Structure 1
């Protein structure tokens, strides 16, 4: 059967040829057809396969790099188009279970680790077991077993963290440490960053006396950094593995133990001495760190996901360090895991394609080029110094990548404490706000945490 539109185009071309001497070639006609969404036969052109990718809307550089990875994936997969959708961390963690239970499900999404997110999704059978893909693509050779376990393994019933099938693969590193404004430190007379907890307290006291904010810090009850500092203070006292034991659900662990009470007491003491941002309880994490990058504040507690810093920032003025311990000879400590891992929802329409997308994101080539951009990947090259030199990378990006390497290879990385229970983040942050403003004691705060932890452990039995 002839196609009316194609016949009409032919007639038009003959009329143009006769009337104006305009010759439309077969290629020209084909171009018109394609522009109208028709193939050479007049049939509708084949639609592209759309891969829906959902990512956390964090730093600008990360989203820019995600766009780059997406374009590279599209170039390697003709006929595939990626539709990127982003959510804030709070929206992603709060709404993901409902989203993945519905009909409009992304093909691949980032998922927060821990019981509140990944564990709950696994329990509800909303995530695909990635183990067959890991075997197919050799993902186990790219990351250490400990990293794979912490970032993506759960028992199939969602009850046991860091064990069982693989449900997620991290592509970038996410560690929390001490940021310092080196230029401001020099103006205050400091010749080097603090190497012990006592030196950190000394430097903050000097800054306070000279009218400088000692530490830009956020205590917001929904988006604060109190749980970061509490963890680092526990680790710094010589108990680097305690947080991992808590997240794993070790029944012999108590959050009212001396190391946790001491850490909580220190946090309250620092707040009482004025070491934190004025009105710090009202500040969100981004607000406090933006003030720090603007030159207001000697120190900050924040993560490597902030890197690379925006071009407008005087990056050379800043450094990122591992948090100092009481013992100057202690191994490096940090909250250090992969960033939100990539997972494939059970209802994904393109599981195999989604696995190829994860394979690209976690490849050595992408990791090396992310390093060159100043970002921290999960997978580090064998000769990290040579890679940094080749990229001519300096400043906080270089410091953060080296710090990440030191913690993973010779230190004690801890998971994020809020992974311990589905409601632990709320307990940590809201309780810390009460603690820092003097409304509850360190003992009351740690008991609040213990109650939350014990209730969840009881529910698991």
Structure 2
């Protein structure tokens, strides 16, 4: 396997082909439904994805339709009736298995061979996109969880970025004494933020080997390592690490809280890189990021592997070749470099070789370094497991909603894990657990 490296440098005129031409109606239509996107992000999609693809493929005409928070619901209804877009966009692998099982997705094995995806995409992601031995989805982006921190706040208080769980807890306790909120966090805009912290606890405290065993059905989710992990997470909540406004803060608000120096740390995912330049402005180098510190015995930080969204082709598509061409375009180094130069954290496609990728020198070097670290961890088979990628839908919903009951004293840790395990075992029996690559 080639070592994956980034080459940072000015794009110069290389963005011109992507930014000068938008969608044209001459070619055969290729439709793609997308979720929400801010105006600047929609502009990036129009110029880099739609314009770039249509310029490179004049026989096709790609259009992107924004469906917002209703995307999943509308997609399910459309596929059930045999309608919908050519490119099927989902929120992660757990959504793929039910669609593949229902015959709503086209197997991609022939395209993967013909277009070279088998050689271009990191193998673990091809395995994750399989159902019943066939490939049905490839990831639009992959991500990990870690710890963002405000360097200025740490320096002002004589603190250092934590490298162990004990150091992180000590820093959080000092932050409380300094009248700061240790963790910038909140779930007002997206309740699913809850699972970021459960995923961190499972991987950095219980450990990825135990998470893997539970996903494979070898141990229950009620096993002692998970009890210890959720007990620790609940301790952090009860001590006030998440602050008093958790249920009223949206994502951009709590990122701004960290940037403003009101919180020294922000435990979350690499998708937050998109906010650094907006909130740190001319001081982007004052935002740091490290792998989330692990408990004793686990060694280095665990990089929990997540797939933020997947791409498939509808079985009823009138233009499957065009849809495959659009997906193939997303997996080109030219697209990777152009899109990640204007929008970091949401289009980190799992290319096996990043040596041909060029990222604009205006992008914080920390982003390229973090993505390289994650790519190396995946390539070396040293990674953890995010809940939204590897748990089936109902289990993941239970994980998200149930942890609030623990935090608010309405449920015990034992009851929470028992309900989680019962839901998982039922979905496992129904064949709904996403593919889990062997370690």
TMscore range, shorter length:
0.7 to 0.9
Q: Specify which of 198, 204, 223 is matched with residue 172 of structure 2.
A: 204
TM-score, structure 2 normalization: 0.82
> 1 or 2 for the larger relative contact order (CA 8 Å, sep ≥6)?
2
Residue 96 (1) aligns with residue 75 (2): yes
Cα offsets for 1:37-89 (capped at 9, x unmatched): xxxxxxxxx9653221122325666544432121011112225332211234x
TM-score, structure 1 normalization: 0.78
Residue 457 (1) aligns with residue 437 (2): no
Q: Specify which of 125, 133, 152 is matched with residue 147 of structure 1.
A: 125
> Residue in 2 aligned with 1:16?
none
Distance 1:409 1:61 in 2: 33
Distance 1:129 1:286 in 2: 38
Q: Specify which of 257, 275, 294 is matched with residue 291 of structure 1.
A: 257
Is the CA contact (8 Å cut-off) linking 1:147 and 1:337 kept in structure 2? no
> Residue in 2 aligned with 1:412?
382
Q: What pairs with 1:346-425 in structure 2 (closer than 5 Å)? A: 346-373=315-342, 374-375=344-345, 376-379=348-351, 381=353, 391=361, 393-410=363-380, 412-418=382-388, 419-425=390-396
Cα gap change, 1:122 to 1:377, in 2 (>3 Å): closer
Cα deviation for residue 292 of structure 1 reads 3.2
Cα gap change, 1:254 to 1:58, in 2 (>3 Å): farther
Residue 235 (1) aligns with residue 214 (2): no
Cα gap change, 1:383 to 1:56, in 2 (>3 Å): same
Q: Specify which of 70, 86, 108 is matched with residue 50 of structure 2.
A: 70
Cα deviation for residue 358 of structure 1 reads 0.5
Give the secondary structure class of the aligned counterpart of 2:163: coil
Cα RMSD of the aligned pairs, angstroms, is 2.8
> Residue in 2 aligned with 1:3?
none
Cα offsets for 1:85-112 (capped at 9, x unmatched): 1234x53334422122235411113123
Q: What pairs with 1:33-432 in structure 2 (closer than 5 Å)? A: 48-58=27-37, 63-67=42-46, 68-78=48-58, 80-88=60-68, 90-102=69-81, 104-115=83-94, 117-150=95-128, 152-155=129-132, 164-190=133-159, 192-219=160-187, 223-237=191-205, 239-247=207-215, 250-309=216-275, 311-314=277-280, 315-327=284-296, 330-373=299-342, 374-375=344-345, 376-379=348-351, 381=353, 391=361, 393-410=363-380, 412-418=382-388, 419-432=390-403
Give the secondary structure class of the aligned counterpart of 1:440: coil
Aligned residue pairs, count: 400
Cα offsets for 1:159-194 (capped at 9, x unmatched): xxxxx211112243322221111222212211x310
Distance 1:165 1:107 in 2: 19
Give the secondary structure class of the aligned counterpart of 2:65: strand
Q: Specify which of 385, 402, 414 is matched with residue 443 of structure 1.
A: 414
Uncovered stretches (5+) of structure 1, i.e. residues with no partner? 1-45, 156-163
Cα gap change, 1:103 to 1:252, in 2 (>3 Å): closer
Q: Which has the larger radius of gyration?
A: 1
Cα gap change, 1:114 to 1:226, in 2 (>3 Å): same
Q: Which moved more, 1:296-305 or 1:205-214?
A: 296-305
Give the secondary structure class of the aligned counterpart of 1:178: strand
Is the CA contact (8 Å cut-off) linking 1:246 and 1:420 kept in structure 2? no
Cα gap change, 1:329 to 1:102, in 2 (>3 Å): closer
Uncovered stretches (5+) of structure 2, i.e. residues with no partner? 1-24, 433-439
Cα offsets for 1:348-389 (capped at 9, x unmatched): 1211011001111012332244454455442254559x967x
Cα deviation for residue 311 of structure 1 reads 4.0
Cα gap change, 1:380 to 1:56, in 2 (>3 Å): farther
Is the CA contact (8 Å cut-off) linking 1:177 and 1:301 kept in structure 2? yes
Distance 2:306 2:314 in 1: 22
Is the CA contact (8 Å cut-off) linking 1:74 and 1:82 kept in structure 2? yes
Distance 1:58 1:257 in 2: 40
